[in-house]
Amino acid sequence: MSSDINPMAYLNWAREYGDAADELLKASEQRPKIYGNRELGNPISFLYLHAIELAFKAFLRFQNQKIYTSGRASHDIAVLYARCQKLGLTLGPDDRFTIGNIVNLLSSGNTKWRGLDIST
């Protein structure tokens, strides 16, 4: 576990990954839609998922919590979100039913991370 990284570092990294995803999304929308054109959905999704992960880690660090640096708990946004919720993070009045469901859906679809099985 690591607890020496400044929470603002995680937040800035989250912004950078989110901005990169936004830019890649814009660029992919401008690409000609020709046969054989490779889609950029997977890289874009990875960047957004990593931005979410880093944002949750920023919140945890703001709460003086340790961040796991290895294993499933270090990258699983559902696990990170659950930890954040226990510390009072809410993203809106329907957070439990909307954001929580989205996080769980994204997490379940992201059991393969960089080719490594993190489902265990």
Q: Which two tokens stand for residue 37?
A: 């054109």
d(CA 116, CA 67): 20
Whether the model clears a pTM of 0.85, i.e. scores above it, the answer is no
Answer whether residue 8 shows pLDDT above 70: yes
Q: Which two tokens stand for residue 67?
A: 């961040």
pLDDT for 36: 57
Residue spans of the domains in the chain: they are 7-117
3-state secondary structure 4-54: CCCHHHHHHHHHHHHHHHHHHHHHHHHCCCCCCCCCCHHHHHHHHHHHHHH
Q: How far is CA 68 from CA 48, 50, 72, in A?
A: 20, 15, 9
pLDDT tens across 21-60, in order?
Answer: 999 988 888 776 665 556 778 888 889 999 999 999 999 9
